[in-house]
Amino acid sequence: RRALGSLGKSRAKFISAEERTGITFDDFAGQEYIKRELQEIVRILKNDEEFQDKGIYCPKGVLLHGPPGTGKTLLAKAIAGEAGLPFFAANGTDFVEMFVGVAASRVKDLFASARSFAPSIIFIDEIDAIGSKRGGPDIGGGGAEREQGLLQILTEMDGFKVSTAQVLVIGATNRLDILDPALLRKGRFDKIIRVGLPSKDGRFAILKVHARNKFFRSEEEKEVLLQEIAELTEDFTGAELQNILNEAGILTARKDLDYIGREELLEALKRQKGTFETGQEDSTEIPDELRLRLAYREAAVAILACYFPDPYRPFIETDINSIRSQPNMSYTETSGKVFFRKSDYINSIVRACAPRVIEEEMFGIDNLCWISAKATLEASRLAEFLILQTGMTAFGKAYYKNQSDLVPNLAVKLEALRDEYMRYAVEKCSSVLREYHSAVETITDILLERGQIKAEEIWDIYKKAPLIVQPAVNPVDEYGALIYAGRWGIHGITLPGRVTFAPGNAGFSTF
Ligand code: ADP
Strands 508-510 and 499-501, by their bridges, are antiparallel
- From CA 90, how far away is CA 94, in angstroms rounded? 7
Residue 177 Cα, ligand 1 centroid: separation in angstroms?
Answer: 22
What pLDDT score does 97 carry?
A: 65
Q: Does any ligand 1 atom lie closer than 6 A to the CB of residue 30?
A: yes
Residue 374 Cα, ligand 1 centroid: separation in angstroms?
Answer: 26
What pLDDT score does 258 carry?
A: 92
Distances (CA, A) of 145 to 10, 100, 151, 361: 22, 6, 10, 51
Q: Which atom of ligand 1 sits closest to the CA of residue 28?
A: 24
| Residue 98 CA from chain centroid, whole number | 33
- From CA 200, how far away is CA 203, in angstroms rounded? 5
- From CA 26, how far away is CA 486, in angstroms rounded? 48
Q: Does any ligand 1 atom lie closer than 6 A to the CB of residue 242?
A: yes
Return the C-alpha torsion angle 409, 414, 415, 419, nearest 10. Answer: 150
Which residue type, as a one-letter code, is found at position 431? S
What pLDDT score does 62 carry?
A: 94
Could you list the pLDDT tens digit for every one of the 511 residues in the chain?
Answer: 455 555 444 356 778 888 889 999 999 999 888 999 999 889 888 877 777 777 777 788 999 998 889 999 999 999 999 999 999 999 988 887 656 677 888 888 899 999 888 889 999 999 988 877 665 554 445 567 778 888 888 888 887 665 455 789 999 998 887 788 888 888 889 889 989 899 999 999 999 999 998 999 999 999 999 999 999 998 899 999 999 999 999 999 999 999 999 999 999 998 887 644 444 444 457 788 889 999 999 999 999 999 999 877 889 899 998 887 789 898 876 665 567 788 888 999 999 999 999 999 998 888 888 888 788 888 988 998 899 888 888 888 888 877 777 787 888 888 888 888 998 999 999 999 999 999 999 999 999 999 999 999 999 999 999 998 888 887 766 454 434 433 333 333 333 333 333 333 333 332 2
Q: Known catalytic residues?
A: 298
Angle at 378 between CA 125 and CA 418, to 5 degrees: 120
Q: Which atom of ligand 1 sits closest to the CA of residue 198?
A: 23
Q: Does any ligand 1 atom lie closer than 6 A to the CB of residue 28?
A: yes
Do residues 211 and 226 lie in contact, with contact meaning Cβ atoms separated by under 8 Å?
Answer: yes
Return the C-alpha torsion angle 267, 268, 273, 274, nearest 10. Answer: 70
What pLDDT score does 73 carry?
A: 95
What pLDDT score does 339 carry?
A: 75
What pLDDT score does 216 carry?
A: 94
Task: Report the sign of the C-alpha dihedral through residues 493, 496, 497, 501, in that order.
Answer: positive
Q: Does any ligand 1 atom lie closer than 6 A to the CB of residue 193?
A: no
Residue 74 Cα, ligand 1 centroid: separation in angstroms?
Answer: 6
Q: Which atom of ligand 1 sits closest to the CA of residue 205?
A: 24
- From CA 343, how far away is CA 483, in angstroms rounded? 6
Q: Does any ligand 1 atom lie closer than 6 A to the CB of residue 73?
A: yes
Q: For the stretch 487-504, what's the b/e string if a residue is b when 16 or more beta carbons lie within 10 angstroms of its beta carbon?
A: bbeeeeeeeeebbbbeee
Which residue type, as a one-letter code, is found at position 349? I
Q: Does any ligand 1 atom lie closer than 6 A to the CB of residue 417?
A: no
What pLDDT score does 491 carry?
A: 31
Q: Does any ligand 1 atom lie closer than 6 A to the CB of residue 466?
A: no
Look at residue 99 and give its three-state secondary structure: coil
- From CA 168, how far away is CA 326, in angstroms rounded? 40
For atom 25 of ligand 1, which residue has the closest CA?
28
- From CA 126, how far away is CA 77, in angstroms rounded? 15
What pLDDT score does 178 carry?
A: 79
What pLDDT score does 261 carry?
A: 93
Q: Which atom of ligand 1 sits closest to the CA of residue 77?
A: 6
For atom 11 of ligand 1, which residue has the closest CA?
239
For atom 17 of ligand 1, which residue has the closest CA?
239
Q: Is the ipTM of this complex over 0.95?
A: yes
